[in-house]
Amino acid sequence: MVQKAVLAMLVAVLTALWSTGPALAEWATVDVVIDPVTGQSHYEPAILYIQPGDSVLFRNAGSSYASRAIPGMQPAAADPWWGQVGTDLVVTFTEPGIYGHKCGANYRLGLVGLIVVGDQPVNLASARAIPHPPAAAATFDTLFSELEAHYLAK
């Protein structure tokens, strides 16, 4: 009888904490999408806005894709990631700022994206200054323009 009462109390406390406690971390997904007309691949979403502590599942569309951090395009205290080809990857982002990511095999073709963690793009200037191959640079120019318009609209 006592065990049932303790269990019921524990369930009640956990339920209260679940519904009124601090917000739990969120999950988001970034997919590799292949355009059926052009055959070109891109990340969807190309820019993802999340909060510190959120996790992202990088879901690959085939055996030739892998999500990888781009050196210099992340906050100084953040850890880079290096996904394996053909394998989905989950990354938890704890440091606020901008993170550039690429597909290792298709980087030169412009398969790149941005993850924005938190409400302020603290490393915008340094992330934007990183050089890229021409197709990736063109994609990043578009993404950074969209990012800047997003923050100007706030």
Question: What tens digit of pLDDT does each residue of 45-83 get?
Answer: 999 999 999 999 998 766 788 899 999 999 999 999 999
- Position 9 in a domain: no
Token pair, residue 105, equals 């095999």
- Position 101 in a domain: yes
User: Is-contact 117 51, C-beta < 8 A?
Assistant: yes
In this structure, the dihedral spanned by the alpha carbons of residues 85, 123, 134 and 115, taken in order and rounded to 10 degrees, is 40
- Position 84 in a domain: yes
pTM of the entire structure?
0.81
- With pLDDT > 70 as the criterion, what percentage of the chain qualifies? 82
Asked, as a colleague might, if the bond just before 45 is cis with ω within 30 of 0, I would say yes
Q: Got the DSSP string for 106-145?
A: TGGGT-EEEEEESSS-TTHHHHHT----HHHHHHHHHHHH
- Position 124 in a domain: yes
d(CA 151, CA 89): 28
- Position 144 in a domain: yes
35 forms beta bridges with: none
The domain tally of the chain equals 1
What is the total residue count of the chain?
Answer: 154
Helices and strands, counts by H and E, the chain: 3, 8
- Position 8 in a domain: no
- Domain range for 90: 25-152
Instruction: Give the model confidence (pLDDT) of 108-119 as tens digits.
Output: 999 999 999 999
Q: What are phi and psi of 91, to 5 degrees?
A: -125, 135
- Position 15 in a domain: no
User: How much is the pLDDT for 132?
Assistant: 97
User: How much is the pLDDT for 61?
Assistant: 67
- Position 107 in a domain: yes
